[in-house]
Amino acid sequence: MKKFLLSFSLILCLLSAADSAYGQSVWYIRRTPPEPWTWAPILNDNITEMDAVFGVGGWNSGYFSTVDPAVAFGPTSTYVFLEGGDDHAIDLNNFLIANMATIEAWVYAGGRLFLNAAPNEGSSMNWGFGGATNVYPDYSPNAYAADPLHPIFLGPYSPVGTSWTGNYFGHSTVDVPCGWVLIDNGSESLLSEITWGLGMVMFGGMTVTSWHSPAPNASNLRKNIHSYLAFDEPFYITTYFTYPDSVYCKYEDNPFPVLDPTSDVGIFSATPAGLELDSITGEIDLAASTEGTYIITNTVTLGGCDYLSAFTLTVAPSPVADAGPDVYVCRGQSANFDGGGADTYMWTPPTYLDDPTLEDPLVTPLTNNYYQLIASDIYGCSDTDDAWVYLYPDPVIYAGEDVILMLGSEVELNATGGVTYTWTPVESLTNPDISNPIAFPEDTTMYVVTGTDANGCVSTDTVFVYVIEDSDIWSPTAFTPNGDGLNDTYKPGFIGIGTITDFSIYNRWGKLVYYSDDPEMGWDGTMNSQEQEIGTYVVVIKGATQFGDLVSKTTTVALLR
């Protein structure tokens, strides 16, 4: 057996906080009551010392026959004390035979174990972990600190001392290949320690501390063992290494291990398969590796013994950002993006968005806009995708030209530009939800039509229905002969029952520019095929009522383009 010791001042943490905090619970497991060594000078030493370190109620009590190994040696467990002293040894041996693989895997993943037995029955026991053995009977009345610089001899509980005696200090010795001897009887180990993957184990053959002298020193020593295993980092360091981070995205630069100055460079390996790792340099080829969590081990062989330390590293799966399809929306309305592909999100720019950190934010755009989605997973790995927001064109809703109506008459309105319509006010309409309702107002009324196009976009227009009581000549006040198909000609009409017989149009110098005796013909704003200038023109209109009375009207009309 070979020991490697560092000066206490050079001790460095073996694991980062994330690696060492394997779990949260503490267990003391033995045979069902009575406690081992119940005929000792002081009863229940183990319980008293567990209470002193972890507090009453701060640890879990378990028994070989009833404890669930998957819980006691599970991911929530930090430290386990297995006791096989006195007449508990056979039960401990059977428990180890049944569960050794589970226990070794738990320690390798970061668990801390104190395996102690001072039997009064059975024989030597195989304690796993590369061939550790509890040798019984091998009585030791005297014991000595083999490595006084180890933390268990320095506190936090004191005094401890460096030598002890008693009736018997140990009922067995321990043979731990490649272990560090902490207490011996002058020639053989009574307490040894090894690191195993991310965790560590102490193997002891000691009786309960009430057999030991000085008893206070021995009890403090046992408390320090519990405290060291549960809370401290390993004291012996020969292969310590880390990587700059514990999680990597596949697109990052390949990481290399960082070795402690006191560490020996060994062979790097990883489990399970899938990590592309250079066994000599420890470089990880992230792009070629399979996503997953790996335990990387640095193994150094010295004096025929393999010493190793381990580091847990995750190659994170690369997220695939999905901004969803482009969004089309009507002006003044809102729509949701359909993002996905990760755990957290950030949309840029945040313009017009209700919350840019949502997976599917609500967008209420005023213009067309481009957006980029940055999608990140729980490891901080990210990917990008983009989408556009487009505004549908506003619908052109036309309610028709204003109408002059005799009191008691009705007229058909006619809206265009949409697929559905709603008219207001509804009181004087036959059906307000069609494009061409019949209007029968008793007073001059402005009707508002709201039209919705095939995209769901909405616009409005208005039309006036002027209600009069007597027949009269009616003339538009302006027209726009610009060829757009709307209000391109000037044509007077008759309010009520009657006809237009003729009308004449004069420019501002009194020159006749247009005459028509056909009431269906209108002026298109030209004279001899020449466009007339923009301005105001005088119109003389003649007509006859339904009773044959001749009427005339002189007015003006504005020519606009």
Q: What is residue 119's DSSP assignment?
A: B
Q: Is the dihedral of CA 433, 434, 435, 437 positive or negative?
A: negative
Q: Are 174 and 182 in contact (CB under 8 A)?
A: no
Q: What are phi and psi of 97, to 5 degrees?
A: -60, -40
- The CA radius of gyration of the chain, in Å to the nearest whole number, is 48
User: Cα–chain-centroid distance for residue 378?
Assistant: 6
Q: Judging by beta carbons within 10 Å of its beta carbon (0-12, 13-18, 19+), is residue 48 exposed, middle or buried?
A: middle
Q: Nearest Cα to 238, choosing from 20, 8, 14, 1?
A: 14
User: 4: Cβ–Cβ under 8 A, 6 or more apart, which residues?
Assistant: 180, 236, 238, 302, 307
Q: Using CA atoms, how far apart are residues 555 and 557, in angstroms rounded to an integer?
A: 7
Beta strands in 214-360 (DSSP E): 241-242, 247-249, 258-259, 267-271, 292-302, 305-316, 327-329, 335-336, 344-348
What's the farthest any 2 CA atoms get from each other in the chain? 145
DSSP for 216-246, please give it: HHHHHHHHHHHHHHHHSPPS--SS-EE-S-S
Look up residue 424 and give its two tokens.
Answer: 């207001």
The answer to pTM > 0.75 is: no
Q: Nearest Cα to 188, choosing from 223, 142, 149, 123?
A: 142
First to last CA, the chain: 108
The number of residues in the chain equals 561
Residue showing tokens 């949701």: 336
Buried/exposed 210-224: b ≥16 CB within 10 Å, e otherwise: bbbeebebbbbbbbb
Residue showing tokens 């592909």: 341
Would you state the pLDDT for residue 381? 92
CB-facing half-sphere around the CA of 293: CA atoms within 13 A: 6
Q: Using CA atoms, how far apart are residues 16 and 19, in angstroms rounded to an integer?
A: 5
Question: Which long-range contacts (C-beta less than 8 Å, at least 24 apart) are formed by 364-371?
Answer: 364/329, 364/332, 364/333, 364/334, 365/329, 365/389, 365/391, 366/331, 366/391, 367/391, 371/323, 371/337, 371/347
DSSP for 504-543, please give it: EEE-TTS-EEEEES-TT--B-SEETTEEPPSEEEEEEEEE
Q: Nearest Cα to 310, choosing from 246, 355, 368?
A: 246
Please list the pLDDT of the chain residue by residue as tens digits (561 residues).
Answer: 223 332 222 222 333 322 333 346 999 999 998 899 988 888 899 999 999 999 999 999 999 999 999 999 999 999 999 999 999 999 999 999 999 999 999 998 889 999 999 999 999 999 999 899 999 999 999 999 999 999 999 999 999 999 999 889 999 999 998 889 999 999 999 999 998 877 899 999 999 999 999 989 999 999 999 999 999 988 876 677 899 999 999 999 999 999 877 677 889 999 999 999 999 999 999 999 999 999 999 888 877 777 778 889 999 988 899 999 999 999 999 999 999 999 999 999 999 999 999 999 999 999 999 999 999 998 889 999 999 999 999 999 999 999 888 788 899 999 999 999 999 999 999 999 999 999 999 999 999 999 999 999 999 999 999 888 777 888 999 999 999 989 999 999 887 778 999 999 999 999 999 999 998 889 999 999 999 999 999 999 999 987 788 999 999 999 998
Would you state the pLDDT for residue 469? 76
